[in-house]
Chains A and B, each alone.
Chain A
Amino acid sequence: MKQSDGMTVIVKTITRMSVWLIILYGIYIILHGHLTPGGGFAGGVIIALAFLNVMLAYGRKYTEQWLNVRIMYDLVSTGAILFLIIGIFGIALKGSFLANILDLGELFKLESAGVIPIIDIFIGVIVSMGLFVMVWTLAVFHLEDGGEE
């Protein structure tokens, strides 16, 4: 069996069934970052691992058709720029970088804690896309290419 064909049918089936659940769990962790342990980084890693799961199970060729890796590169920078813009809004409205510009809300509610959930979402985007792209870039290296002499 060729390398690009991925793993056996058992792994493929399990991956197909579980990938959206894993992504959903990652989104849950990101959205509850201000209430429970976790947050942008942890949830982002979980989402990235879901994508990497697909890459390992189905191979790179299939994943390239399924996902647009090109856009993922851009999403990393977009997330970072949006994060900075939130910070600059803090300067503009409250006079301090990353200051809270929204209503604090009620304790233990999902829609509380001001800008922290929004920042968490941006961090989640940066981390999930960034980690996937990072491993993807390492995976597309060919060990035998590019030698000198």
Chain B
Amino acid sequence: MIVPYFIIIPLLAAFLITLISSDDDRWAIVISILAVIILGILSVIGFISVSKEAIVYSMGGWKIPYTVCLVLDPFSSFMLFIIPLIGLAALLYSISYIRHLSKSWKYYALFMLLITGMNGVVITGDLFNLFIFMEVALFAAYSLVAYGGKAEEFEASFKYAVMGSISSSLILIGIGLTYSITSTLTLAKIAEVLPGQNPVVVNWIGAIFLAGFGLKAAIMPFHAWLPDAHSSAPAPISSMLSGVLIKALGIYVLIRLFYNVFGLPKIFSDIFLVLGGISIICASLLAISQWDFKRLLAYSSISQIGFILLALGIGTRMAVFGAIFHILNHAIFKSLLFFNAGTVEMALGTRDLRKMGKLGKVLPITSTTSMIATLSVSGLPPFNGFFSKMIIIIAAIQAGFFQSAIVAVIGSVLTLGYFLKVQRHGFHGEKEFNEITNVPSTGMRTAMIILAILCVCSSVLIIPGIKDVVFDPVIDTIINKTEYIQLVLGR
């Protein structure tokens, strides 16, 4: 019975940190890293044990429709693995980065709350419980965006909080509508009852949820908060937000709701295709004109989320494989790029690409890892980004969506374009630097090296034997929509 510990451990860690730390942050670091490592091990155990049969856990010992249930199936345990993976890298990176901003245990407590919220969203099988954990994660995210204490950060956090609250109200109304027509809040039960209902109402509910969770995922018409929030936050938090939060709160919930609960009606797969295409092209074009390193990365996140959404709109087995593979890959390389940006900002005190220059001599590891991440994000073999984008494009061609395939190809070329700009001006410019004030510490370098190695290593997952073990159970959960109902309700 490992399921409830995914929520208990980070929550306990958060409150223990607030209780035992006075001024020092040493215990906070130890506890949070320990908690994240335990979560990672638990998620691996969970993934192995659920590959045959998923675990359904009901809280308080009550029967399913009357209680909140937690569902650990291959897809949720896949997400549960990504969260502590990026979380561990971000924590290693934060040790000296956060001391450089302001030394406090509060950061680690909020970080643990962020992980609690994301784990809860991923593991829960109840619609309202999902809402609660989403608010926990968002609350921590608002505070962490403003952690640095500069004027821009408060401004970005306020903007994020206002837009997040609007979408939360929309989601709450959607939950109310769902409850009014299905008389239940358990996702599986809703999926069972929903096909018999009036399709107009069902489509309206879907539209409300798409707007609400689309804002959390920063899909193109709802993206306005992301460039501010992700570029203003401290670098490890940017990597957590861009790498994991928008996927756990946005994409994961969209997949769960629209695939497993609504059964992906045609109208929504079309909307996914269109919104995904818009996100890819518009965000790439916006990214090209940016000179702020982190802002460029933030726009790039929107464009990569567009790739995932496009693949979800295609909806074939191969496309879903591309989507979840891209979730993993984007988490890895985008976190790495944000770490690079944070290191450069700490060393030179600027995020402006025009003020950066030849950094290969003074920041060798940052320069090398940023090159690996760049090649990865722009989709060059043998790095992981190439494979997931290739799979998405091939899936689009196979399913006959030629426009989408063309959009994806154009998007990849644009991505290569703006990342060449980063490399050209940011890391191989004319300006020479001989010495810098803040050298990156061991923890920061370790985090970057680990993620750079993962950028190469995760392309191994494409090899058929390994893919069958890792991805096939996940794809099966997403594609077989009715299986989720049977699994939770036990028929």
Contact = CB atoms under 8 A, between A and B. Distances in A.
Contact present between A and B (CB < 8 A): yes
Interface of A: 73-74, 76-78, 80-81, 84, 87-88, 90-91, 94-100, 148
B11 A84 contact: yes
A20 B12 CA distance: 33
Nearest to A97: B4
B124 to A, nearest CB: 13
B19 A77 contact: yes
Contacts of A100: 60-61
Given A77-B18, A96-B59, 4 more contacts: A74-B19, A81-B15, A97-B60, A100-B60
Nearest to A82: B15
B75 to A, nearest CB: 22
B151 A77 contact: no
A115 to B, nearest CB: 10
Interface string B26-69: 00000000000000000000000000000001111100000000
Contact of A77 (B1, B15, B58, B150): B15
Given A73-B18, A81-B15, A88 B60 contact: no
B16 interface: yes
B61 A94 contact: yes
Secondary structure of the B contact surface, majority rule: helix
B113 to A, nearest CB: 11
13 contacts: A76-B18, A77-B18, A84-B11, A87-B4, A88-B8, A94-B61, A95-B1, A96-B57, A96-B59, A97-B4, A97-B60, A100-B60, A148-B150
B61 A81 contact: no
A99 B12 contact: no
Contacts of A77: 15-16, 18-19
A148 B59 contact: no
B16 A97 contact: no
A94 B58 CA distance: 12
Interface in B403-453: none
Interface of B: 1, 4, 8, 11-12, 15-16, 18-19, 57-61, 150-151
Residue of A81, A90, A97 most packed against chain B (CB within 10 A):
A97
B12 A91 contact: no
A126 to B, nearest CB: 10
A99 B61 contact: yes
B19 A96 contact: no
Contacts of A96: 57-61
Nearest to A88: B8
B8 A78 contact: no
Contacts of A76: 18
B61 A148 contact: no
A88 B1 CA distance: 12
Contact of B61 (A78, A80, A88, A95): A95
A80 B151 CA distance: 33
A74 B12 CA distance: 14
Contacts of A84: 8, 11-12, 15
Nearest to B18: A77
A87 B8 CA distance: 9
Contacts of B11: 80, 84
- The winner among B11, B58, B61 for most chain A CB atoms within 10 A is B61
A100 B11 CA distance: 21
A4 B4 CA distance: 48
Given A91-B1, A97-B4, A81 B12 contact: yes
A41 to B, nearest CB: 14
Contact of B15 (A80, A87, A97, A99): A80
A99 B8 contact: no
Which 3 residue pairs are nearest across A and B when measured between Cβ atoms?
A: A96-B61, A99-B61, A77-B19
A75 B16 CA distance: 12
A96 B8 CA distance: 13
A148 B150 CA distance: 9
A74 B105 CA distance: 14
A90 B60 contact: yes
Nearest to A81: B15
Nearest to A73: B18
Contacts of B16: 77, 81
